[in-house]
Amino acid sequence: MNFLYDVFGIPFGYLMRIINSLFPNYAVSIIIFTLVTKLVFIPFNYSMQKNAARTRLLNPKLEKLKKSYANNPTKLQEEQQKLYQEEGLNPMSSCLPSLIQMILLFGVLDVVYKPFTHILGFSKEVRNEAVGIAGTNLKNLRCELITMEKLNELADKFKNLGEDFYNKAVEFAQNFTIFGANLGKAPTLHPEVWNKEAVILAAIPFLAGLAQFVSSVYTQNYQKKNNPAMQGGGCMTAMMFLAPVLSIIFAFGLPAGIGFYWIWSSLFTFVITYVLNIYFDKNIDKINEKEKAKALAYAAKHPEKKTFMQKMLEQQQALEQQQNGTPSTKTNLSKSEKNKINRDALKDARKRMAEKYGDEYDENENDDD
């Protein structure tokens, strides 16, 4: 898991360093950094929401198929796959953009967690020594933020580090604030003194939860509006409330900079989702026809290449053939024909097992089984 943070944190780290050089205040840098990364993710959001919008257009036909083949799940799946193929729609096409986006998010979080690495650019040796002075485990993703909290407490020890670590870290920490509150500190509901900083820090987790709640409410209402037959409403409602609550709980156990990032991440996600939904609501019919034409043109130009749905259909037919012991085109077989097919299938299975384990196999050995 740490490998993903390290690899994808490098390019986003360069981006954050450039932003922070232009806007030295860390809070401002986080906002701009979050906006830029969300803009980078827009093509993936576009692909996922386009696929969802196109799928919604098929819902009436899909519901009709469900009613027609309610007692035949295998046939239902086959007809659904045929429909997807006719429409030039891959129901799994949103999985890859979602996976890519999730992987890239590791890099985004790595930048937020590691300012010494990505913003100040200290060498690995100096970073490791600083973390050791702070008494923090290097495997802890928040080790650099925790170290920054102890700059004043252990100043004499940090001053002995090379690369002018102490002075640079202290200067950065002074700008690691929002309205004077240190974003490297963890929020708490039981501060020693309820001063301005304590109030700001305590508010951040609640604002992070609220931002996620607003985004979740909008998403669920939009889905219900466009897909009234959607199941699992109770579970989705529970998650709508549970996810923001968990965000609040987690944010109280993390440096405030993380919660601050979550606030803006949720807000920008909401805005992008809202704008794309408006766009698809107005244009999905034209987009759908264009995508269908594109799929048909590609199939005509590359007849030798099989589409995802064609492969799915062939796999389904092969599975039926294997389960029945005969091509699906044969029906009304006699009892003796079925018995022969089963015997042949059993022989074939035994032969494959013998070949796999290097045993000898006599084709006539089990003729009387």
> Is 50 in contact with 281 (CB distance < 8 Å)?
no
Residue that wins the pLDDT comparison between 354 and 144: 144
The pTM assigned to this predicted structure is 0.71
Averaged pLDDT for residues 225-240: 65
Cα gap 348→94, rounded to integer Å: 39
Cα gap 301→322, rounded to integer Å: 32
Count H helices and E strands in the chain, helices first: 14, 2
Report helix, strand and coil shares of the chain as percent, to nearest 5. 75, 0, 25
Residue that wins the pLDDT comparison between 105 and 210: 210
Averaged pLDDT for residues 172-193: 86
Cα gap 188→297, rounded to integer Å: 60
Cα gap 217→231, rounded to integer Å: 16
Which neighbouring-strand residues pair with 182?
A: 177
> What contacts 101, CB < 8 A, 6 or more positions away?
41, 44, 45
Name the burial class of residue 165, with classes exposed (0-12), middle (13-18) and buried (19+) by CB atoms within 10 angstroms of its CB.
buried
For 124-128, 181-185, 190-194, which range has the lowest pLDDT when averaged over its residues?
Answer: 181-185
In 3D, which of 361, 336, 333 has the Cα closest to residue 348? Answer: 361
Cα gap 256→197, rounded to integer Å: 11
Find tokens 């019919």 and name the residue: 285
Token pair belonging to 103: 């992987």
Averaged pLDDT for residues 198-210: 95
Is residue 102 pLDDT above 90, yes or no? no
- Please, what is the average pLDDT of the chain? 81
> Using one digit for the tens of pLDDT, what is the confidence trace for 45-58?
898 889 888 888 88
Instruction: Place 240 in a pLDDT band, splitting at 50, 70 and 90.
Output: confident
> Using one digit for the tens of pLDDT, what is the confidence trace for 77-92?
888 888 887 787 777 7
Residue 167 CA, chain-centre distance (Å), reads: 39
CA atoms within 13 A on the CB side of 202: 12
Token pair belonging to 277: 């939904």
Token pair belonging to 147: 């170290």
Residues 314, 318, 324, 328: is their CA dihedral positive or negative?
A: positive
Cα gap 109→105, rounded to integer Å: 6
Cα gap 172→164, rounded to integer Å: 12
Is residue 308 pLDDT above 70, yes or no? no
> What contacts 230, CB < 8 A, 6 or more positions away?
223, 224
In angstroms, what is the C-alpha Rg of the chain? 29
Token pair belonging to 297: 């043109």
